[in-house]
Structure 1
């Protein structure tokens, strides 16, 4: 019974996040970007231009143009992803239709690009966190990534540069450049929403003063610290490497602590996804 309740709760939260995300994305598009002749990237950007040229509803294009990509992605990503994405696209199609009659909150193009990018990015980020997507081009990018030497990011960027180039001919190059500003802001906001401001960072520290640094990190950051036995590849010297996971907001403090003991310490930092209770911060007294 508990397992069923947890499953129902998880599905409910997922549906709620997708609906909230689609609503935010609809607001960003219809109340900020589209009235000021700006577009988004990917399938949504193509849909905006198609709607502009044909005067048909934007929601019709966002739904229809995403369907082929969902069919392609079914075998690649599975039923859950496709259903989540189909629901997200359906919510967006309804949302842009509902918000279309509402006039833009600003006629200032720069403000529209900033706030449209922020709100749209927050919406897309919520949908991605819920396990869905609004952009079928990402599905194609992942498939092409396995068959070419280009990364997913490079393929998506190529699509979007091409789309924004077409927008330059339709709306003018100044509007295309504002669209690029909005896209860049949305991209960064998506990262923040998906990863969180408290994004985890894995840090490796190589220093002869590992004992003092370990004690200081544990005391001043309240994080668990792991010591890994290691050997220098050239010197063959036995030493210890410090391994610690912190939030990105703690990186500056960590560097200050380490370099306060050893200005020649080697610090390497990388993003990681962390699961488990052991990562939780201890109280600092």
Structure 2
């Protein structure tokens, strides 16, 4: 029990340190590279940048207010820990952008700004995701939509961002929209690199003496279907019950916590999936 409390405290401290650092890195990419050069990011961040340009409102204020509804959606879909971590990350990002708003741009070359701004934003978002949260509500919205459609989370996010980034052509100019696409693509790739190649969906294999308890928890708390497989340990010869399921990248942190709470000695393997087809994966269980 004492060991479990120490692990929980360590994770909490890690989040309290790394989520603000990730938010500050995102803010640097936005306020010092992208925004001064009229380049936007995707998602709610891109909408906030355009609104802060068209109105007297501050970028940080829009980031907080527009993302707030998705925190409540995240609470019902992902749980309390995810929602609180996301709220913390969004708050840190809003404060960070406010603090850096008066700092002059590092470069006035638009291509350099798109490249380095995209790298910083992607790295910062990756840090936040690795610690169980997100700083943009479109990912939560995509999770909700994908449960009712045959599209993946990545496809829905890409579809939404095409419209958002294209809007930059009307707010700024079409050259800015093209540079925004470059920045978004770089940020997207950097997120994957930071989160160790985390794709839209992940395959999960769990071996535990409490397989049924873990399987029921995955089904109830994550809303994911599970399959029980039966195997035999090559060394011990013991019968083993194996859990197989598929989750989204934003659910991985919650899954780790869930398994550790039930059986901290459980074997857990998580892998990337390039494509998921067939069954109820696309329509219900898998994003």
- TM-score norm. by structure 2 comes to 0.68
Aligned length in residues: 201
- What is the CA-CA distance between 1:196 and the residue it aligns to? 5.9
Q: How does 1:1-285 map to 2 (within 5 A)?
A: 1-195=2-196, 272=271
CA distance in 2, matches of 1:114, 1:141: 26
Residue matched to 1:218: none
CA distance in 1, matches of 2:115, 2:150: 34
- What is the CA-CA distance between 1:129 and the residue it aligns to? 0.2
- What is the CA-CA distance between 1:17 and the residue it aligns to? 1.2
CA distance in 1, matches of 2:110, 2:187: 16
Q: Where in structure 1 are there 5+ consecutive unaligned residues?
A: 203-270, 274-285
CA distance in 1, matches of 2:141, 2:14: 28
- What is the CA-CA distance between 1:116 and the residue it aligns to? 0.2
CA distance in 2, matches of 1:37, 1:194: 28
CA distance in 2, matches of 1:3, 1:153: 35
Residue matched to 2:280: none
* Higher Rg: 1
- What is the CA-CA distance between 1:151 and the residue it aligns to? 1.5
Q: Where in structure 2 are there 5+ consecutive unaligned residues?
A: 204-269, 273-287
- What is the CA-CA distance between 1:3 and the residue it aligns to? 2.9
CA distance in 2, matches of 1:6, 1:144: 34
**Paired residue secondary structure (1:191):** helix
Higher relative contact order by CA 8 Å / sep ≥ 6: 1 or 2? Answer: 2
- What is the CA-CA distance between 1:21 and the residue it aligns to? 0.4
**Paired residue secondary structure (1:134):** coil
- What is the CA-CA distance between 1:154 and the residue it aligns to? 1.2
CA distance in 2, matches of 1:103, 1:8: 39
- What is the CA-CA distance between 1:165 and the residue it aligns to? 1.2
Moved over 3 A (4+): none
**Paired residue secondary structure (1:272):** strand
CA distance in 2, matches of 1:103, 1:182: 19
- What is the CA-CA distance between 1:123 and the residue it aligns to? 0.2
Residue matched to 1:242: none
